[in-house]
């Protein structure tokens, strides 16, 4: 037998064996390179990678997706940095912590809350800072205010934030015609004015005031004590139709009102609140108004970004919704 015929017979023999063992239908024929070498006859071996290239397709796809996510993340970081602009030295010290009813047609129902960090530097003057709508570059300046809200004094000064203090910045007009720092007596204004968001009523309890400041004969003036017990916090009582002693009237007129509360408690440790109420003074827009500095919406109701910028035009914080 010639060498050629012998070689051909040898190849034909192995071909028959291959077909008899499953041939092209055997799993190992298309599994690709093996993870482990063939050691046991009749046991299906597990392959990996592409049958031609030997590349692990699953791992390659995972790596590709990871790279794509990283690239997308980097793009967003670049976009956010561009949107943020030049950072203020106050970045991280003061942040926009909340926005409510943004884009509403009633500016008195719309507000943003900013907060000074607990480790912020003391005495941050925010008057003169601006809030800027990124969508249209419309801006509004944070005004001056009264630290101690007064019924008679119209003077205002810089609004100072201390560490861990907040400022509720309402787009509309102030019910008391000025921005102010909250105090334990300010709730008296809620008897005749509407505040949004709600102004807490932390005034001293009238019965406690009676025990502390009433100067008449309390043993003989049970009617006064009983009447005062019916008075709610932060409410100026109406004595109309009541038969009360002159000492009782004097007590009510002196202590159970805003100014009397201020005079009696301004030195108390818990007198000052930790929040300002700031009003930007904008009014609802009507067809007769064309002054966009004073009337109309500041922010879109959605897909908006609001910048808080310092007196030098550098960005303190960015709020997106």
pLDDT tens for 134-180 read 998 899 999 999 999 998 888 999 999 999 999 999 999 999 999 99
Residue 137 contacts by C-beta under 8 Å, 6 or more apart in sequence?
A: none
Contact 142, 129 (CB under 8 A): yes
291 cis-preceded (ω within 30 degrees of 0): no
Quickly state the pLDDT bin for 58 (edges 50, 70, 90).
low
Q: Which residues pair with 99 in a beta bridge?
A: 112
What's the pLDDT at 50?
53
Tell me how far apart the alpha carbons of residues 165 and 277 are, in angstroms, rounded to a whole number: 12
What's the pLDDT at 34?
46
Residue 114 contacts by C-beta under 8 Å, 6 or more apart in sequence?
A: 94, 95, 96, 97, 126, 161, 166, 167, 169, 308, 317
pLDDT (mean) for 201-230: 93
> Model-level pTM greater than 0.85?
no
Residue 282 contacts by C-beta under 8 Å, 6 or more apart in sequence?
A: 107, 140, 171, 172, 173, 294, 295, 296, 298
pLDDT (mean) for 204-222: 91
Tell me how far apart the alpha carbons of residues 199 and 190 are, in angstroms, rounded to a whole number: 7
If one counts every other C-beta atom within 10 angstroms of the C-beta of residue 120, the result is: 19
Tell me how far apart the alpha carbons of residues 301 and 174 are, in angstroms, rounded to a whole number: 22
Contact 194, 231 (CB under 8 A): no
**More confident position, 51 or 101:** 101
Provide φ and ψ at 159, rounded to 5°.
-90, 120
DSSP state of 46: P
What's the pLDDT at 55?
55
Tell me how far apart the alpha carbons of residues 145 and 139 are, in angstroms, rounded to a whole number: 19
What's the pLDDT at 151?
86
From 19-33, 63-77, 102-116, the region with the lowest mean pLDDT? 19-33
From 58-62, 90-94, 176-180, 232-236, the region with the lowest mean pLDDT? 58-62
What's the pLDDT at 60?
60
pLDDT (mean) for 98-108: 89
Provide φ and ψ at 258, rounded to 5°.
-60, -50
Task: State yes or no: pLDDT of 28 exceeds 60.
Answer: no
What's the pLDDT at 77?
64
What's the pLDDT at 65?
73
Task: State yes or no: pLDDT of 252 exceeds 90.
Answer: yes
Task: State yes or no: pLDDT of 282 exceeds 80.
Answer: yes
From 199-203, 247-251, 291-295, 304-308, the region with the lowest mean pLDDT? 291-295
Greatest mean pLDDT among 42-51, 60-69, 83-92 = 83-92
Largest CA distance in the chain: 142
Mean pLDDT of all residues belonging to the chain: 84
**More confident position, 60 or 94:** 94
**More confident position, 295 or 189:** 189
Contact 144, 127 (CB under 8 A): yes
């Amino acid at each position: 037998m010639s060498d050629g015929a012998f070689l051909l017979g040898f190849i034909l023999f192995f071909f028959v064996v291959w077909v008899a063992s499953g041939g092209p239908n055997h799993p190992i024929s298309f599994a690709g390179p093996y993870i482990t070498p063939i050691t046991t006859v009749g046991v299906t071996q597990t392959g990996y990678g592409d049958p031609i290239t030997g590349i692990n397709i699953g791992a390659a796809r995972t790596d590709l997706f990871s790279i794509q996510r990283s690239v997308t993340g980097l793009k967003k970081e670049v976009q956010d940095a561009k949107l943020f602009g030049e950072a203020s030295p106050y970045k991280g010290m003061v942040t926009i912590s909340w926005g409510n009813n943004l884009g509403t047609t009633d500016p008195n129902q719309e507000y943003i809350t900013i907060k000074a960090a607990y480790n912020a530097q003391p005495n941050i003057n925010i008057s003169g800072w601006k809030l800027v709508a990124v969508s249209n570059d419309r801006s509004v300046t944070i005004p001056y205010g009264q630290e101690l809200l007064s019924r008679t004094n119209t003077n205002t000064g810089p609004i100072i934030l201390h560490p861990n203090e907040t400022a509720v910045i309402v787009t509309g007009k102030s019910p008391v015609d000025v921005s102010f720092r909250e105090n334990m007596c300010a709730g008296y204004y809620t008897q005749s004015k509407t505040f949004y968001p709600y102004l807490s009523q932390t005034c001293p309890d009238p019965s406690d005031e009676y025990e502390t400041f009433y100067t008449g004969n309390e043993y003989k003036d049970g009617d006064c004590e009983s009447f005062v017990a019916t008075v709610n916090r932060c409410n100026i009582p109406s004595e109309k139709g009541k038969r009360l002693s002159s000492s009782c009237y004097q007590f009510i007129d002196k202590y159970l009102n805003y100014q009397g509360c201020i005079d009696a408690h301004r030195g108390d440790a818990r007198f000052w609140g930790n929040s300002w109420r700031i009003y930007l003074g904008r009014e609802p827009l009507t067809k007769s108004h064309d002054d966009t500095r004073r009337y109309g919406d500041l922010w879109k109701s959605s897909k908006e970004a609001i910048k808080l910028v310092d007196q030098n035009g550098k960005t303190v914080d960015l709020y997106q919704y």
